Structure 1
Amino acid sequence: MPPKRFQTTAAMACVKILLTIFIVVFWVVGIALLALGIWGVIELKNYLALSEQDYSSVPYVLIGTGSFMVATGLIGCYAIVKNITWFLHLYTVMVFVVFIALFACGIAGFIFEKGLTSSFKSGLATHIEEYGATDTDGLDKYVDNLQETLFCCGGTNYSDWLAGTTWSETHTDTVPVSCCNMTVDAQVCEDAKPKDGVQISGNNGTLYIFDEGCSAKVTSFLSSKMGIIAGSALAFGAFQLIGIVLSCCLAKMINANKYEMM
C-alpha cells in the first residue's frame, strides 16, 4: 500500500487540475463581462441616456466585476503553482465576493425587469416630447441614433411626433429625418434636411418612414433577455461554490502534506 504522503500528493494533483479548470472557466466569464461592459460604455450609452432612471453606471459595474474576476483568477493560479495556503484563502474570499455579487445581480434582474422597461418607455416618451427644445442637454442625437439603429420611429409609432411635442409645433405631418427608411426611397431621405424633417408618405401612398415604434422593440428585447441574463447570473453564482470547496480542500491538503513531510 502506498505511503499516506503519496496518497495525499496524488489527491492534491487531482484537486489542482480541477481547480485549474474552474479558474479557466472563471477567467472566460470574467473576460466576457469585461468585454460586455466596454461594449456597453461604447454602444449602449445611447439607450441608457434615454431612460427615466440613470442606468449609466451599469456598464462600469460589469467592467469592475470582470476585472475583479480576472485578478481573482491570477491569484488562484499563483496559489496553485506556489502552494501558498494563505493565497488560497484570499482566493476563496474573493470568489465568495463574486458569488454574492452574482446572486445579487441575478435577483435584482428578476425584480427590476418591469421597472427597467417602464423607465425606458416613459423616458423615451419625455425625450420625444422635448425633441428640438433648446434645453434637451444634447439628447436629441440619442433619439435620432435610436431610430436609425433600430429602424423605428417614435415611441409607440410615428404618430407620437405629430401632436403634443415641441417638434409638432413647428412641423406639420412631418417626422425627423432619422425616421426615414432609406430602403423605400433613398433620395427622399438624402434630400430631407434634419431641421425640416421628412414627409410621412408620398402621393402614391408609399410610406417613407419606419412604421414600428422604438419602445416596443427595446422593451421586447429587455423582457426576453433579462430573464436569461438574471438566470445565468444565478447559475454561475452557484458555480462559484465549486471553486470555494476546491480551494479550501487544496489548502487543507497542502498543510497536511507539509505536516507529513516533517
Structure 2
Amino acid sequence: MADAEGKNDTCGTVCLKYLLFIFNLFFWLAGGAVMAVGIWTLVDKSDYISLLSSNTYSAAAFILIGAGAVVVLTGILGCCATIREQRGLLRVLNAELRADLKERMVQNYQQPGQEHITRAIDNLQQDLKCCGSNSSADWREGAWIQIFADGRLVPDSCCKTPTVACGVRDHPSNIYKVEGGCISKLEEFILQHLIVLGSVGLGIAFIQIVGMIFTCCLYQSLKEEIY
C-alpha cells in the first residue's frame, strides 16, 4: 500500500511539473500569436498609416504588441514560479528519500512480490554508481543480506564490475563507496534535470523577447520610411 502511494506521489509530481510547463508554453504561444497580429497590422497595412491623421491605427498595433509582451512575461514568471516550486518539491523529495529509501532497501530488496523494487534499486546503484541509501553500511541491516545473501555484504549491483557473488567484498576497490550514498547522488541527478528544464524554458522566453524587440525596431523603420 505504501509503495502504491509513493508511486502515485511521484507520478503526480511529474505530471504537475509537465502540466505547469505546458501551461506556460501555451502562454508563450499565445503571446507570439498576439504579437504576430501586431506585426501583420504594421507590415501588411503599413501603407494605410500615412493616410490616417489619427494615431489610432498605429496605437492599436502597439497595444497588440504590448499585450503579446505581457503574455510572454507572464509565461516567464510562470516558468520561474514553476522552477521555484520544483525546488520546493525537491526539498520535500529529499525528506521523503531520507525517510523511505533506506527502509525500502533494507526491508524490500529481494523479497517475494517486491521484484520491481529490487530491479529499481539495482538499476539505481549501477546507473548512479552508488551503494546503499546513505552508505554501503546500510545493507548490514537488510533482511536479505542477513539471511539469504550467501555471504554477501552488499548486493552485487554495488560492484564496479557486477558478477555473481561479487558483493562478498565491500572494499572500495570492489564496490561504489560514495559520500552521502545513493540519496546524495539521486538528489544531484534530480536537481540537474530541473536546472536543464528551467534553462530551456527561459531560453525560449528570451528568444521571444528578442523577437519582440525586432518587431519594435521594424515598426520604427517603417515609420521612418513613411514619413
Same-fold call, TM > 0.5?
A: yes
- Structure 1 residues 221 and 112: CA distance shift in structure 2, 3 A: same
What do residues 99-158 of structure 1 show as CA deviations (whole Å, max 9, x unaligned)? 341242244345444323222333322321312223437232221111111111111122
Within 5 Å, give how 1:1-262 maps onto structure 2: 53-54=9-10, 55-57=13-15, 60-61=18-19, 64-65=22-23, 67-68=25-26, 71-72=29-30, 74-76=32-34, 78-83=36-41, 85=61, 88=65, 91-92=68-69, 94-109=71-86, 111-129=88-106, 130-136=108-114, 138-174=116-152, 175-182=154-161, 189-190=162-163, 192=164, 197-201=165-169, 207-212=173-178, 213-219=181-187, 229=195, 243=209
Give the number of equivalent residue pairs: 185
- Cα distance change of structure 1 residues 59 and 143 upon mapping to structure 2, 3 Å threshold: farther
1:32-78 CA distance string (max 9 Å, x none): xxxxxxxxxxxxxxxxx988952332552365257436624641552
Q: 1:117 to 1:51 in 2, by over 3 A?
A: farther
What are structure 2's unaligned runs of at least 5 residues?
43-60
- More RCO (CA 8 Å, sep 6+): 1
Letter in 2 for 1:150: L
Q: Which structure: greater helix fraction?
A: 2
**Contact 2:30–2:68 (CA<8 Å) still a contact in 1?**
yes
**Structure 1 Cα separation of the partners of residues 183 and 30 of structure 2:** 39
The TM-score, its normalising length taken from structure 1, stands at: 0.51
Q: In percent, how many aligned pairs have the same letter?
A: 18
User: Equivalents in 1 of 2:141, 2:112: separation in Å?
Assistant: 19
The answer for the alignment partner of 2:53 in structure 1 is: none
Gaps in structure 1 of 5+ consecutive residues = 1-48, 183-188
Q: TM-score, normalised by structure 2?
A: 0.57
Contact 1:51-1:123 at 8 Å conserved across structures: no
Distance 1:73 1:209, change over 3 A: same
**Contact persistence 1:147–1:179 (CA under 8 A):** yes
Cα distance between partner residues in 1 of 2:86 and 2:17: 14
